[in-house]
């Protein structure tokens, strides 16, 4: 899961950097506005992977307790699920600083273009 998150962050930097370079070079404000969509998509995808990682850590914590009722090789993460899990993961400090920084750079690019 950590590798997936690392790859998502790399792709988001590449895509957003290319879009912002094109937008500022061509002075096209519409490209800057469209570039907010991939940031949101990558942010939610990264939050989903973080949420899945948290679910498997909770499963591991339940299995490692002696005399646990959880079968040792069961991969059922359903008992650890939350209703707002992905959104709660999206608000984690790591993701907020990373994708918040990308969003801030987009706002600066939008101000420069307009």
The pTM score is 0.85
Give the tokens for residue 10: 């790399």
**Over the stretch 40-60, which tens digit does the pLDDT of each residue have?**
999 999 999 999 888 888 888
Least confident of 14-18, 40-44, 47-51, 66-70: 66-70
Angstrom distances, CA of residue 113 to CA of 20, 34, 43, 102: 10, 14, 24, 16
Joined tokens for residue 27: 């002075």
């Amino acid at each position: 899961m950590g590798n997936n998150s690392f790859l998502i962050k790399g792709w988001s930097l590449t895509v957003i950097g290319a879009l912002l370079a094109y937008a500022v070079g061509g002075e096209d404000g519409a490209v800057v506005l469209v570039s907010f969509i991939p940031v949101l998509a990558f942010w939610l995808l990264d939050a989903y992977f973080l949420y899945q990682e948290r679910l498997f850590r909770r499963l591991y914590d339940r299995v490692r307790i002696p005399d646990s009722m959880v079968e040792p090789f069961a991969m059922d993460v359903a008992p650890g699920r939350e209703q707002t899990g992905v959104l709660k993961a999206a608000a984690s400090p790591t993701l907020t600083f990373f994708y918040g920084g990308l969003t801030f750079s987009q706002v600066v690019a939008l101000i420069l273009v307009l």
